Amino acid sequence: MWLGVAVASILGLALLAALGTAINFALHRRFGIAAAIALPTCLVGYFFLSLAGPAVKDEIFGDPNLESVAEGAVQVPGDELQALYEDRTHVGMYYDNGDWNHYRETYLPGGTIRGKSGPESNPDQWTYGGQWKIEDGRICQKYDADFSCSDVYVSGTTYQYANDPGDDVTSWFVVAAPLVELDPAAEQLTGDALYGVIEGMTLTGRLTDAGEGANFIATFYANNHAIYTLRGNDPDRLDEEEYGWYRFAGDRVCLSDTLGTNQDCFAVYETGDGLSFVLTGEAVTLTTGPPL
């Protein structure tokens, strides 16, 4: 970033020199040449200040929206990171382009991330996936391009990402308890019992970790393993259509392209007249009532 500051400084000096030259021509009543120099100089200067100015200011003086690692926070040792991430859900906020956004991420065994994020007005606006791993005592995450690794600091129950205690913190989280925990008395369905409650059935239910569109009715077709889903905020008005598919993998059912899933495989438990779908641990991802 400091290279960018240096380049910006050189460009700024060049613009000032050009503006000084234009003023000099104007003082000698050579107004045409002065205007020919001043006009493009002012236009370039305007775009420079609009685009690069805020970034240069933040780099030199610091972003007023950010703070460094909390005083008294300690770095989480590398041998504790696996337990902090694997099979856990984190809820927190991250800073992007001047705004703080909410996020909720589940770190699945095997290195997959399932997440939702969004602004204050709609925290579940975006659904995304990624990968994670622990490497050299650091947490490494990959969402689009390459893995990016960071140290983790903890203060009380709040965890912050930073590579040095003096760094600005652009993301923090707390470890979340499941929104709905599996009933200890629930019985997992396997084999023919699992097929019997899924294949060819229509299920009504609710996603436990979703805001908008949490209610659904899904039909699991037996002949082609397709899923037709209607979703909505009001269980009596489901008007958002989704088309996905399902398959069975051992004693789990795997869903994709609907209900926020992407080849996610669930253990299915019978709880009363309904079903609980568990992706990992004891957290219930979606619940249903009796088949229609």
Positive/negative CA dihedral, 158, 164, 165, 170: negative
pLDDT winner (highest mean) among 59-68, 166-175, 250-259? 250-259
Work out the end-to-end distance of the chain between its first and last CA atoms, rounded to an integer number of angstroms. Answer: 59
Which pTM was predicted?
Answer: 0.61
Burial class of residue 96, CB neighbours in 10 A (0-12, 13-18, 19+): exposed
Instruction: Return the percentage of the chain with pLDDT > 70, whole number.
Output: 84
CATH topology of domain 74-176: Lipocalin (2.40.128)
Domain range annotation of the chain = 2-61, 74-176, 187-288
**Count of CB atoms situated within 10 Å of the CB of 260:** 20
Burial class of residue 249, CB neighbours in 10 A (0-12, 13-18, 19+): exposed
Q: What is the pLDDT of residues 53-107, one digit of tens each?
A: 555 555 544 466 678 898 899 999 999 999 999 988 899 999 988 889 999 998 9
Minimal CA–CA distance to 132: which of 151, 114, 152, 116? 114
Q: What is the pLDDT of residues 181-204, one digit of tens each?
A: 899 999 999 999 999 999 999 999
How many whole angstroms separate alpha carbon 194 and alpha carbon 192? 5
